[in-house]
Structure 1
Amino acid sequence: MGNITINQHYVPQFLLRNFGWKAKKGIFRINIFDTKNCSVRHNQNIAKVFSQNFFYDQDNSIEKFLSEIETPTSILFEQIINGNFKSLENEDNKSLIMVFISSLLQRTPSALEKANEFINTNLNQGIVRQLLSLNGYDPNEANNGYFEFPQLVSDITLEGVINSILIKDLSFQIIKNETNLEFCISDHPVFAYNWLYRDLDHPSVTGITAKGFQIFLPLSPSITLCLYDSHVYKYGQKNQLITHIDNVNDIAIMNSFQIINSYSIIGFNSITTESHLKQLYERNKKIQLYKHENTIFDYRETEEGQIRYKTLNFTRQTKLKKMPSFISIKRKAKIDNNSFSYRNPELINQYLAVNKLHKNNTF
């Protein structure tokens, strides 16, 4: 295969190394908690986990494109982990981090499964169901079919890069873990949630353009990076980039995010973390963060006997019980938590312009 990378990482090795240790020259290892069977695998070679053969492509075009994002991002993350936060004062650096996070949100097996489920919900609950009904068949048979689109991961990964435009207005917060309980990392490490709208029944609540959108990404056992809507939330102390946490309950909540988000595995450093992860898993294993739904509306029959209808595909988020104690909703924002609004319409216009250009040109 020449220089083609066969084993392609959906969570970059540079990020995983922060949660592992160097065993010998060129070899880094990490402990793995398997959420499918609640078991632990010790001393796993980072080069061989959080990856699949030809996950993105077979010609390495996506793999090489992602490496161009990962290489400079790894330098910035290393600076942050080492306590050098000046890089976050640079707008170009912040934009690069947002591109990385937005693409990471879309480039994992969990993201691929979510995209496939979203498409199948539309097909099975909408188009296929109607076709079966119109032809005299039981519409419930639509539930028996499931279509997979393996190459979809390349498309949604690139979509994630473009989507970074939509989170440019979010603020940064560094969470410094001062406890003996470490942060862990899952195989879908970017946890996104809207705490403001947790009680609101609206189809756009889960979107990254919604007011109240939040992101959590663990960078190491002691550092988590948060992106949040500063018009809605107060994170830590006012005008402070860093929040120091000495409450293990906060760390447990943030680790539960990784448990809930995981596709099948959690990476961690210390063996003492095993029992903690197993307990978290037992408490959170039944939580399904998102549920895809499809609604048919404007259903009518034309004079020519044709059926016309429109469908609405959307994703609901489950109502989580807690957020870490360093997060609070501002008083002014609480007034609007019963009515949906977009965070920044201007960014949406920028996105639409770029997306139109993307569709008219080869990426």
Structure 2
Amino acid sequence: MPTWGLISVRPNPRVDRMTEAKIQHYVPKFHLRNFGLGKKDQLWVYDKQTARSFQTNAKNVASENRFYDFEIEGETYSLESSLSQIESKTKPVIERILHEDSVSGLGAQERATLGSFLASQFVRTKAFRMQWADLPRILRDKVASMGSSVSPGSQAEALIQDPSENQIKVDTTRMLLDAPLNFGPRFLDKIWFVAKTTNSNPFILGDNPVSLQNQVDMTLYGNLGLAVRGIEIYLPLSSTRALAMWCPSLAHQVGEAAKTINRLPPAIVSGQLKNPDGIIGLDSAPRNGSSFSYEPTHVMNFNSLQVARSERYLFSSKNDFSLAQKMIDDHPDIRSGQRLNAG
């Protein structure tokens, strides 16, 4: 049986004490290096807030000083070493996927390791922390929209007060510790395959890299949950490869379309469908855990998810962030990360 065993998950967890690492990454360095130029860990970075791109070393980005350090009752703790353990176990799994261009050879423990990494990456970012910090504002807006008020000294009043930076760290650390058990199974119950592109039209990586899309359930609320029907989850692994994780219902839908194509006479298929071979290939990859080549339009859609979901920074092997620039011109609100609304 696979074991999680990567982050301690206990009631009132006691995390590791201060580590030597002061600069702590919310996207791992080994992951960032896969989007570099192949020399001295250099990569291109785009800052959505300043609309400026620059080249730098992977160690200098997606990180902050003491990002995972916090205090409880006067003592300082850090989650950095626990996350480093996850990264060291995950790195060879991702290397194997990139080497084999497939996920079919992964064993149960390797999948569990990657599932735990995905779960932690989902909540360890600056974007997630900013969203959490924004919750009191959302509650205040909701109360105001209802024309209500809260009693002084009540629990409700405490909920709408902006927490301290340390309290935000403590709250999000608790969620991060629980992430492998709470979210890990949601990644593992998806259909996995490898999406691929070319060096000339690369995938980009955002600073909040686990992206979600839903083109089946088009409801306006709640269609991007990890367990929602039709959900597509993506994690770029390198500039030319990504891990795609589909809801089984979506894989079934594509499979039924492929069966229909195979039953029809070739003359009808060629006359009615623009790319029947693409549908058949897209059916084969999820069934076999193999790779599927993305067309340029698919790569653009994929990269747009990284642009929209990122808090501030994008990373690439090429200094071409025209898609991000256009998206920001059309939707200036995505200069910063996605935020919840009171609704």
Q: TM-score, normalised by structure 1?
A: 0.68
Aligned AA for 1:206? Answer: L
**Residue correspondence of structure 1 range 209-228 to structure 2 within 5 A:** 209-228=227-246
Q: Which of 160, 168, 172 is the equivalent residue of 2:188?
A: 168
Q: Structure 1: which 5+ runs fail to align?
A: 136-141, 295-363
Distance between the aligned counterparts of 1:90 and 1:74, measured in 2? 15
**Residue correspondence of structure 1 range 151-300 to structure 2 within 5 A:** 151=169, 152-162=171-181, 163-178=183-198, 180-198=200-218, 200-202=219-221, 204-233=222-251, 234=254, 236-238=282-284, 239-245=287-293, 247-271=295-319, 273-286=320-333, 291-293=340-342
1:307 paired residue number? none
Alpha-carbon displacement from aligned partner over 1:303-361 (angstroms, at most 9, x marks no partner): xxxxxxxxxxxxxxxxxxxxxxxxxxxxxxxxxxxxxxxxxxxxxxxxxxxxxxxxxxx
Alpha-carbon displacement from aligned partner over 1:81-140 (angstroms, at most 9, x marks no partner): 2235366431211121111111101011101111222344235534998774668xxxxx
Shift of 1:11: 0.2
> Is the 2:199–2:239 Cα contact (8 Å) retained in structure 1?
no
1:47 aligns with 2:67: no
Q: Residues 164 and 126 from structure 1, CA distance in 2 versus in 1: closer, same or farther, beyond 3 angstroms?
A: farther
Which moves more between the two structures, 9-18 or 120-129? 120-129
> Is the 2:101–2:194 Cα contact (8 Å) retained in structure 1?
no
Alpha-carbon displacement from aligned partner over 1:38-65 (angstroms, at most 9, x marks no partner): 11112x1211211001111155641111
- Return the structure number with greater relative CO, CA threshold 8 A, min gap 6: 2
Which moves more between the two structures, 9-18 or 245-254? 245-254
Q: Residues 123 and 158 from structure 1, CA distance in 2 versus in 1: closer, same or farther, beyond 3 angstroms?
A: farther
1:104 aligns with 2:121: yes
Q: Residues 164 and 133 from structure 1, CA distance in 2 versus in 1: closer, same or farther, beyond 3 angstroms?
A: closer
Q: Residues 145 and 180 from structure 1, CA distance in 2 versus in 1: closer, same or farther, beyond 3 angstroms?
A: same
Shift of 1:254: 0.6
Aligned AA for 1:46? Answer: A
Q: Residues 281 and 268 from structure 1, CA distance in 2 versus in 1: closer, same or farther, beyond 3 angstroms?
A: farther
1:80 aligns with 2:97: yes
2:32 paired residue number? 16
Q: Which of 94, 102, 108 is the equivalent residue of 1:91?
A: 108
Distance between the aligned counterparts of 1:153 and 1:73, measured in 2? 22
Distance between the aligned counterparts of 2:161 and 2:77, measured in 1? 32
Q: Residues 52 and 125 from structure 1, CA distance in 2 versus in 1: closer, same or farther, beyond 3 angstroms?
A: same
Aligned AA for 2:86? Answer: I
Which has a greater percent of helix?
A: 2
> Is the 1:33–1:274 Cα contact (8 Å) retained in structure 2?
yes
Q: Residues 127 and 158 from structure 1, CA distance in 2 versus in 1: closer, same or farther, beyond 3 angstroms?
A: farther
Aligned AA for 2:329? Answer: E
| Sequence identity percentage | 20
Q: Residues 170 and 102 from structure 1, CA distance in 2 versus in 1: closer, same or farther, beyond 3 angstroms?
A: same
Q: Residues 228 and 35 from structure 1, CA distance in 2 versus in 1: closer, same or farther, beyond 3 angstroms?
A: same
Q: Residues 131 and 48 from structure 1, CA distance in 2 versus in 1: closer, same or farther, beyond 3 angstroms?
A: same
Question: C-alpha root-mean-square deviation of aligned residues, in Å?
Answer: 3.2
Shift of 1:5: 1.2
Aligned AA for 1:266? Answer: L
Match of 1:257, SS? helix
Shift of 1:192: 1.8
Which moves more between the two structures, 92-101 or 50-59? 50-59
> Is the 1:260–1:284 Cα contact (8 Å) retained in structure 2?
no
1:327 paired residue number? none
Match of 2:80, SS? helix
Which moves more between the two structures, 150-159 or 180-189? 150-159
Q: For this pair of structures, how many residues does the alignment match?
A: 281
Shift of 1:32: 0.6
> Is the 1:219–1:225 Cα contact (8 Å) retained in structure 2?
yes
Shift of 1:217: 0.6
Q: Residues 247 and 6 from structure 1, CA distance in 2 versus in 1: closer, same or farther, beyond 3 angstroms?
A: same
Distance between the aligned counterparts of 2:103 and 2:230, measured in 1? 26
Q: TM-score, normalised by structure 2?
A: 0.72
> Is the 2:194–2:244 Cα contact (8 Å) retained in structure 1?
yes
Distance between the aligned counterparts of 2:86 and 2:237, measured in 1? 16
